[in-house]
Structures are given as structure tokens and as C-alpha cells.
Amino acid sequence: MRLDIVSIFPDYFAPLSLSLVGKAIQGGIVDLQVHDLRAWTHDRHHTTDDTPYGGGAGMVMKPEPWGEALDALEEASSLPMTVVVPTPAGRPFTQELAYELAERQRLVFACGRYEGIDQRVIDHCADTYELIEVSLGDYVLNGGEVAVLAIVEAVVRLLPGVIGNPQSLVEESHAPGHSRLLEYPNYTKPPVWRERAVPDVLLSGHHGRVAEWRAEQALERTRQRRPDLLEGEIS
Ligand code: 6GU
């Protein structure tokens, strides 16, 4: 999979050379290229933003550098581009969307800062490429960079060959066709730590009872923390 990230803060993406994503890059599963948007400015101050038409607080990212950046990326490879624009006004990022993005050949992440990117760039992307505007959740970040780190990690771990034991993906509660309950709590040795004991059932060796206990725990956690996930289910 080819990944391009365009940002005025390319240093944000240094952590992608670490851990599992870093190994996927080293192993040739992912071709990651990070680009400084300012490379496509031409004025002395490398200006990427300007005041909004119609007034109001904040700044808007100018269309011209984005247009040149997208044209240059399109030229650099013949793979079809899916442009991902992180914005709090986007489609909620879920495991389902992560699986969808993992099917694409090439993702181009366009990181906005300030109050966002001139809408004409977004409209141009919708007309020219596949465009997906994505939100990480109902809160406001200063820019798309942190969202892109999260999206890239969630997508890359789904690519064939990235996770050592692919069965661990199948067992995740958010895997396709799975119940979508929250995960049950996990324990490891020692059996007692600071006077807190591991639940007896987990030491019992009865796989059926363990499975039943874990299902109960997952359901109770989901009731407490995410009742929305249980809407439309019985009892
Ligand atoms: Cl994807 N971007 C920004 N800038 N803020 C956000 C977000 C994304 N998701 C939640 N808040």
C-alpha cells in the first residue's frame, strides 16, 4: 500500500518509523512518503493560509499549494488515489472504515490546520479522486496530524503480513461479523498482586466457564460504557 501524507508539520510523523508500522515500511508492505505542503508555495514566507472570506476568527488554508501538491502526487504514481481529509466534520472513524481504507491501493492524507482547507480543494478532490472526510470523534484537534497517526496505525495493522498472528485480528471485538461488544478484562501472572486476586474462573481450566465469564464481562462493560452499542438487542 502506498501512503502519502501532506502537512505543514512533517515532523509529526516521525513515530511512524517505530513499532509495527515502521516494520511494515521496512518490510516493503507500506511505501510511506511524508510531504511538506510548503514545498508547493512560491512566496518568500511559504504562506499556506489566509483570512476567511465573509469574516470570522481564524485562518483558512489557501487552495493553490494544495492544488499543486495533489497534482504532483498524482504525477508521482499511476495508482488510483483515495484522498483522506481529517476534519471534525467528517464521517466517524470506525473499525469498519479502517477495513475499507485497508482495501485501497493508495491513500493520500491532506492535513489541514487552522479553520480547515478552502472548500474548493475538497470539492476538487471529490470530483477528481475518491474523497473521504474522516473525524476521529466529537472533539476538536488543532489539525489533522494526530488524527492521521491514528488512522494510519489502525489501517496498516490490517494489511496482510503486518500482524504476526492474523488470528488476533479475527478475535477482535470490532472484526467484521463480530458482536461489537467492548473487550473483557485481561489478567496475567502473578495470581495475586497487591492483595488483588485474579478471578478464580480464569484459573479453573474450564474453557466453557471462562468463555461464559468473559461474555458476561464484555456485556456488562458495554452496558456501563457504551449502551448505544446495545440498541436494538434483546434483554
Ligand atoms: Cl480528524 N481533525 C481535526 N482537526 N479535529 C478533529 C478530528 C480530526 N477528529 C476529531 N477532532
Q: Which three cell numbers stand for residue 180?
A: 461489537
- What per-residue confidence (pLDDT) applies to 15? 96
**Does residue 134 have its Cβ closer than 6 Å to ligand 1?**
yes
Bridge partners of 17, per DSSP, are none
**Does residue 136 have its Cβ closer than 6 Å to ligand 1?**
yes
Q: How far is CA 105 from the centre of its chain?
A: 16
pLDDT in tens, 22-32: 999 999 999 99
Q: How far is CA 5 from CA 59, 66, 70, 73, 112, in A?
A: 21, 12, 11, 10, 11
- What per-residue confidence (pLDDT) applies to 234? 67
Query: Which atom of ligand 1 sits closest to the CA of residue 137?
Result: 10
Q: Which amino acid does the sequence have at 133? A: E
- What per-residue confidence (pLDDT) applies to 72? 98
Beta-carbon contacts of residue 149 (< 8 Å; ≥ 6 apart): 12, 13, 15, 16
- Nearest protein Cα to ligand 1, atom 2: 87
Low-confidence ranges of the chain (pLDDT < 50): none
Beta-carbon contacts of residue 96 (< 8 Å; ≥ 6 apart): 174, 176
Rounded to whole angstroms, the Cα distance separating 184 from 163 reads: 21
Rounded to whole angstroms, the Cα distance separating 204 from 206 reads: 5
Of residues 136, 129, 114, the one with CA closest to residue 51? 114
Query: Which atom of ligand 1 sits closest to the CA of residue 112?
Result: 4
pLDDT in tens, 209-225: 999 999 999 999 999 99
- What per-residue confidence (pLDDT) applies to 115? 87
pLDDT in tens, 88-108: 999 999 999 999 999 999 999
Among 8, 136, 155, which residue has the most ligand 1 atoms within 8 Å of its CB, making it the best to mutate?
Answer: 136
**Does residue 95 have its Cβ closer than 6 Å to ligand 1?**
no
Q: Are 80 and 105 in contact (CB under 8 A)?
A: yes
**Does residue 30 have its Cβ closer than 6 Å to ligand 1?**
no
Query: Which atom of ligand 1 sits closest to the CA of residue 134?
Result: 1
- What per-residue confidence (pLDDT) applies to 13? 98
Rounded to whole angstroms, the Cα distance separating 215 from 221 reads: 10
| Placement of cell 497534482 in the chain | 71
